[in-house]
Amino acid sequence: MKNNFKVGYARVNITPPLGVNIAGYYKERIADGVLDELEACAVAVESGDKRAIFATVDHCGLTHDFLDPWRTEIAERTGVARDAIYIHSTHTHQGPACFANHPNPKNVEYVDFLRSRVIDVCTLALGDLKDAKMGIGVGEAKNVAFIRRYRMKDGTAKTNPGVNNPDILHSIGDTDERVNVVRFDREGGETVVIVNFGNHPDVVGGTKISSDWPGMTRRTVEKCIDNTKCILFNGAQGDVNHVNVHPKAGDFNDMFNDFDGCSRGYGHARHIARVVTGAVMSVYDKVEWLENTNLRYMERIVDIPSNKADPKDLPLAHKYHELHLAGRDDEIPYKAMMLTTVVAEAGRMVRLENAPDAFPMSFTSIAIGDVAFFGIPGEPFTGVGRGIKEAEGWKMVLPTCNTNAKRGYFPMKDSYDEGGYEARGSNFKAGVAERIIDEALDMLSKLR
């Protein structure tokens, strides 16, 4: 197997202490238990004189304010080029909130712990390099991811309108049920499997720590396939989640209706993990082995216009935002997901009131032979993932969300006119999704 191509793997525990604030849902949640451990995983790749690191963190999404200095420190410690350091957040909604000046001291302390653990896992993966070969396959995970934006009978578009809502006409878009699988067989070491599938990990709900279906998938793959280590990169999931609004038979097993009208449940996250694992197993033994393992990488920074509010809308936005911060959501005249939508929109308007007219956005791509990873610094709609996968000249393209930054939603252009939570809360003007596709196709063409 000696071919000047090596792969290393490592995993570390990043479970926080109880009492941290949990990220997500515009609702305060304090961790009071642990359903399963949070982890950071890393795959190191060496081809000739070049190295790259792919890392995943069980987190809702880490901002560039954290990740930029972390990547620089990893580069300085390891000698790996900064542009070849690829840090992805799986987007679990059952992990700690991390942002500067968090009022909970446990969350502030956790950031330092997480930084050291991410650096550790990258270093450990490099120390595990072994001669390897690479194969790829594409499976399917059916009926576990659903477009969450719906056309309603009154002509409006709503995100998560509720299970069995009689006013639903149809979903707006189609899911991408493809599961990308990259397999590394290593001489004298366990096989490493990379899984890439797009779906929102907001399945569990409640106030207990969990890695949701991404972590469950890693563990299930490793239970089902001997001598295997698994790492999962979430894909284009900005308009996709687990909610089947028209459940039949046992579809609603292990689920409950949560505060925002979404059905959730720990058992359902386990179900998604099993279905995705089934997709992995369906192609694992029949991967296409690839000879080309030449390593290339590229990072590009582009300016994306910010989605500032019309000044006439700011007074009401400030009112709703202040009510929300004061814990007085009951005084905002909306309920369930519409309340979340209005709160998100008001927060966006206030946040961008004095912001610049454009934000620099970083895209990262790493290619191994005819396989390319493309890191998107936020939550792209399914259409973005589909567009990037169509890049010419590649055996496989793996788009990954929340990579090297988390900058919010990247909705397709038409969704801004249609409405819905994602577009109304997005930091970026209509056209951001299409711009990401264009940049990705251009970068991928240059990496060929």
**Residue type for 81, please?**
A
* pLDDT for the residue 16: 98
Question: Mean pLDDT over residues 409-432, rounded?
Answer: 94
CA distance 81 to 298: 10
* pLDDT for the residue 3: 61
* pLDDT for the residue 247: 94
Q: What is the DSSP letter of 326?
A: T
Q: Report the sign of the C-alpha dihedral through residues 338, 339, 344, 350, in that order.
A: positive
Element (H, E) at 57: strand 50-57
Is there a contact between 128 and 83 (Cβ–Cβ < 8 Å)? no
Q: What percent of the chain has pLDDT over 70?
A: 99
CA distance 46 to 80: 10
Q: Render pLDDT for 289-336 as a digit per residue (tens, 0 to 9).
A: 999 999 999 999 999 999 999 999 999 999 999 999 999 999 999 988
**Residue type for 21, please?**
N
* pLDDT for the residue 27: 86
Question: Mean pLDDT over residues 144-152, rounded?
Answer: 96
Angle of helix 64-78 relative to helix 105-126, nearest 10 degrees, comes to 30
CA angle 81, 107, 34 (to 5 degrees): 100
Is there a contact between 212 and 93 (Cβ–Cβ < 8 Å)? yes
Q: What is the DSSP letter of 75?
A: H
56 pLDDT more than 70: yes
CA distance 218 to 11: 11
Mean pLDDT score across all residues of the chain: 96
Q: Of 160, 108, 176, which Cα lies nearest the Cα of 337? A: 160
Q: Render pLDDT for 342-400 as a digit per residue (tens, 0 to 9).
A: 999 999 999 999 999 999 999 999 999 999 999 999 999 999 999 999 999 999 999 99
Give bridge partners of residue 122 from the DSSP assignment: none
**What residues contact residue 69 under an 8 Å CB cut-off, 6+ apart?**
none
Which of 82-96, 184-198, 415-429 has the lowest average pLDDT? 415-429
Is there a contact between 437 and 386 (Cβ–Cβ < 8 Å)? no
For tokens 């940049």, what's the residue? 439
Is there a contact between 346 and 353 (Cβ–Cβ < 8 Å)? no
Question: How many CB atoms are closer than 10 A to CB 250?
Answer: 8
**Residue type for 165, please?**
N
CA distance 97 to 109: 11
* pLDDT for the residue 1: 45
**Residue type for 323, please?**
L
Q: Render pLDDT for 226-252 as a digit per residue (tens, 0 to 9).
A: 999 999 999 999 999 999 999 999 999
* pLDDT for the residue 259: 87
Give bridge partners of residue 263 from the DSSP assignment: 257
Strands 33-34 and 208-209: parallel
CA angle 14, 378, 18 (to 5 degrees): 25
pTM listed for this prediction: 0.95
Question: Residue 48: left if φ>0, alpha if ψ -120 to 50, beta else—which one?
Answer: left
* pLDDT for the residue 420: 86
281 pLDDT more than 70: yes
At residue 303, what are phi and psi to the nearest 5 degrees? -90, 130
Residue 406 burial (10 A CB sphere; 0-12, 13-18, 19+): buried
CA distance 422 to 140: 26
CA distance 206 to 32: 10
* pLDDT for the residue 179: 98
CA distance 221 to 216: 9
Is there a contact between 245 and 165 (Cβ–Cβ < 8 Å)? yes
Q: Report the sign of the C-alpha dihedral through residues 406, 425, 26, 218, in that order.
A: negative
Helix and strand element counts for the chain (H, E): 10, 24
Three-state DSSP at 441 gives helix
Three-state DSSP at 308 gives coil
